[in-house]
Amino acid sequence: MRVQQICLGVSTHKQLSSPAEVNPSDRKKDRERCTASLLRSCPASVWPEGSATAHSHPMLVTVEDHIDHISAIHEALRAAIVNIVNRWWSDTKANFPARMPIEPYEESLLRWMEALPAGTTRPFDECLGSWRPDFLIEDVVDASKPGGTREQFRICEINARFCWNGFFHGAYGQRALDDLGAREKGFRGAADCEETINELLTLVDTSKPLHLLKGEEHGIDIWLLAWAAEQRTGIRPRFITPEDLRLVPCDKAPLGQKLCCVIPSDAITSPESTVFELEGERLEDVHQVNLELHQRELRAMPIKVLRHLSLRCFNDLRVILLVHDKRMLGIILQELDALVHRHGVLTPKQAEILREGISTTFIPGSSEISQLKKDCHHNPNLKDNFILKPIRSGKGAGILFGDELSPEDWQTKLESCQQATIFPGQISYIVQRKIPQAIYDVYSRDSEESRKMHLVGTYHVVNGRYLGLGTWRSSPARICAISRGGSWICSIY
């Protein structure tokens, strides 16, 4: 069965009704009940502007065709990433630092972490943090399926920089579907609200104060996290900026200094907080900190401060600087044979699952990029089958479609991809195959009629554990982002 949108209020698992088949008042009633549930989960003042009403009727999926499919992709993906990151600096034959160079300060920081005495930092496989991989849907030939095709999910990026985004929207959206009677009607949520939030909160030590380090990014789910953390654990997270951070000499600290932050004189503190005065400033010890910073903001911070952050931050900097980087998908595809035959962490079947389940991705400086440049020189129209994507962007920013560039501009861009090294302030691209995305009839937000739209799916992971499908994003535009007016949709099966 294909992914399809249904009107839950008038559907049962035996009798499905699409939004187009019901009257507008029933569609409106469903949306109003969903919105009311979302606002019971979290006050309107906490939701990002417009977000609590940007939802749409749920998508119906199946275990066999969709949930088992994406779960199998994830299990192979997790095993591949853990193995690759663990070998990043030690495997001289793979030579990952040359194939996927990061900025010099980043390399210095990660090598420093790698060289720390055992027990100073946790092994990578114990601090995988939260991931939100995005995937597209392509119809592929499959003679065993009715109609001769099936939906193939293809991961196009792994979001792991802002570690809360999407999680609370998905969790509260699933709760809203339960409140609409999904279980009573014979459906199950594609993720569980309580399980998702409880798993997220395992990233936090509830015996210590929590700091949320933010800068330019306005933030989406981080506001929902702050509210949920206080309601569920009693911790009131403190929002701080890079300018608030201080290093204070301390003989008992592992690095001879302790990380602190400036707080207002009238700031409320918890009994667990360590607060003191120094040189006219009121300071608070920082024990655990969530980073919601762009790479340029990290780059602007002193290396000593970054080292202290690396010992107490989440997501872990190995996740932010390596896993989140869009080149990682290209590295995985290049490593599949070695992951099966040399390292034994994937089965041949899992390798094939990743070949099909990851969008074809070429990284700068690779032989694949070089060959593509030659092929496009001989066949200029070949560019129409590919896109360029900045290696560290988000929300669809900076994506270039080959069919929107002239052959000359395309060749110029590919020429800039011949070198693996990245430079601060200069955009570096991966090349991905342009997925011919499946089209769906979608009622978006409070629209009165359906439109033909693409869907971008996501699933949620905390510390390597698959937690279920996240929200779908729908939009008639080529680039699908809620920030660009799309809607978000949860799933049932």
In whole angstroms, what is the distance from residue 95 CA to residue 101 CA? 10
Ordered alpha helix ranges (H), 379-465: 407-416
Assigned domain for 420 exists: yes
Assigned domain for 19 exists: no
Contact between residue 9 and residue 30 where contact means Cβ atoms under 8 Å apart: yes
Assigned domain for 228 exists: no
- Picking from 276, 336, 351, the residue whose alpha carbon sits closest to that of residue 75 is 351
Assigned domain for 406 exists: yes
Instruction: Give the pLDDT score at 425.
Output: 81
- Picking from 413, 437, 436, the residue whose alpha carbon sits closest to that of residue 426 is 413
CA atoms within 13 A on the CB side of 317: 24
In whole angstroms, what is the distance from residue 327 CA to residue 338 CA? 18
Q: What is the dihedral of CA 75, 77, 78, 81, to 10 degrees?
A: 160
Q: What is the dihedral of CA 333, 334, 339, 343, to 10 degrees?
A: -160
Instruction: Give the pLDDT score at 73.
Output: 99
DSSP string, 152-186: EEEEEEEE-SSTTTTHHHHHHHHHHHHHTTTTTTT
Instruction: Return the structure tokens found at 446.
Output: 């409070």
Instruction: Return the structure tokens found at 214.
Output: 């933010």
Structural domain count, the chain: 1
- Picking from 384, 423, 345, the residue whose alpha carbon sits closest to that of residue 78 is 345
- The one-letter code for the residue type at 221 is D
Assigned domain for 421 exists: yes
Report the SS3 class of residue 138: strand
Q: Which segments within 346-489 are labelled E, that is strand?
A: 361-362, 386-390, 400-401, 429-433, 440-442, 451-462, 465-469, 472-475, 487-489
The enclosing domain of 429 has a CATH number of 3.30.1490
In whole angstroms, what is the distance from residue 89 CA to residue 111 CA? 7
Question: Counting Cβ atoms within 10 Å, is residue 279 exposed (0-12), middle (13-18) or buried (19+)?
Answer: exposed
In whole angstroms, what is the distance from residue 142 CA to residue 137 CA? 14
Contact between residue 170 and residue 134 where contact means Cβ atoms under 8 Å apart: no
Assigned domain for 371 exists: yes
Contact between residue 465 and residue 459 where contact means Cβ atoms under 8 Å apart: no
Instruction: Give the pLDDT score at 484.
Output: 67
In whole angstroms, what is the distance from residue 363 CA to residue 329 CA? 9
Domain that holds residue 427: 360-434
Cis status of the peptide bond prior to 379, with omega within 30 of 0:
no
In whole angstroms, what is the distance from residue 426 CA to residue 415 CA? 14
Helix, strand, coil percent values for the chain (each to nearest 5):
40, 20, 40
Assigned domain for 393 exists: yes
DSSP string, 179-193: HTTTTTTT--BSB-H
Instruction: Return the structure tokens found at 476.
Output: 């008639």
In whole angstroms, what is the distance from residue 445 CA to residue 443 CA? 7
Contacts 24+ apart (CB under 8 A), 419-422: 419/364, 419/365, 420/98, 420/99, 420/100, 420/101, 420/363, 420/364, 420/365, 420/366, 421/101, 421/365, 422/101, 422/102, 422/103, 422/364, 422/391
- Output the tens digit of pLDDT for each of the chain's 493 residues: 999 999 999 999 999 999 999 999 999 999 999 999 999 999 999 999 899 999 999 999 999 999 999 999 999 999 999 999 999 999 999 999 999 999 999 999 999 999 999 989 999 999 999 999 999 999 999 999 988 999 999 999 999 999 999 999 999 999 999 999 999 999 999 999 999 999 999 999 999 999 999 999 999 999 999 999 999 999 999 999 999 999 999 999 989 999 999 999 999 999 999 999 999 999 999 999 999 999 999 999 999 999 999 999 999 999 999 999 999 999 999 999 999 999 999 999 999 999 999 999 999 999 999 999 999 999 999 999 999 999 987 777 899 999 999 999 999 999 999 999 999 888 999 999 999 999 999 999 888 899 999 999 999 999 999 999 999 999 888 888 776 667 999 999 9
Instruction: Give the pLDDT score at 349.
Output: 99
In whole angstroms, what is the distance from residue 315 CA to residue 322 CA? 11
- Picking from 303, 255, 239, 246, the residue whose alpha carbon sits closest to that of residue 276 is 246
Assigned domain for 473 exists: no
